[in-house]
Chain A
Amino acid sequence: MNLKDYLKDKLINILILLLSYFIVLMLLIAFKVKISLIFVITFIFLITNILLIMEDYYKKKKFYNNILNNINKLDKAYLVLETINKPEFYEGKIVYQILYEINKSMCENVNLIEEQLLDFKDYIEMWIHEVKRPLASLSLTLSNKNKLLDIKTKAILKNLEDYLEQVLYYVRCENAASDFFIKEVDLGNIIKNVGIRNMDDLLNNKVDFKVEKINVKVYTDSKWLEFILNQIINNSIKYKKGKNSYIKIYALDNPDTIKLIIEDNGIGIPKSDIKEVFKKTFTGENGRIVPSATGMGLYIAKNLCSKLGHKIEIESVYQEYTKVSITFAKNKFYDVLK
Chain B
Amino acid sequence: MSKIMIIEDDEVLSLELKELLTLNGYEVELVKDFKNTIEAILNYNPDLLLLDINIPYLNGEVILQNLRKKSNVPVIMVTSRNTDMDEALSISLGADDYITKPYNPNILLLRINAILKRVNRISNIINYKTLIINTQNGTIKNQDKEIILTKNEMIIFAYLLNNKDKIVKRDELMTSLWNNEEFINDNALTVNISRLRSKLSKLGYNNIIETRKGQGYIIS
Contact = CB atoms under 8 A, between A and B. Distances in A.
Interface string B102-126: 1111010000000000000000000
Nearest to A188: B181
B101 A132 contact: yes
B144 interface: no
Task: Determine the main DSSP class of A at the interface with B.
Answer: helix
B39 interface: no
Interface stretch (B83-91, B132-140, B202-210): B83-91
B45 interface: no
B13 A147 contact: no
A135 interface: yes
Interface string A182-203: 0100001000100111011001
Which residue, A140, A180, A221, A223, has most C-beta atoms of chain B within 10 A?
A140
A69 interface: no
Contacts of B105: 139-140, 143
Interface stretch (A15-23, A54-62, A207-215, A253-261): A207-215
Interface in A122-143: 128-130, 132-141, 143
B185 A206 contact: yes
Nearest to B101: A136
Contact of B174 (A129, A157, A203): A203
Interface of B: 10, 12-13, 16-17, 19-20, 23, 54, 80-85, 87-88, 100-105, 107, 167, 169, 171, 174-175, 178-179, 181, 183, 185-186, 214-215
28 contacts: A130-B80, A132-B100, A132-B102, A133-B10, A133-B101, A135-B101, A135-B102, A137-B13, A138-B102, A139-B105, A140-B16, A140-B19, A147-B169, A148-B215, A180-B83, A183-B88, A188-B181, A192-B181, A195-B178, A196-B104, A196-B175, A197-B104, A199-B174, A199-B178, A200-B171, A211-B181, A222-B84, A223-B84
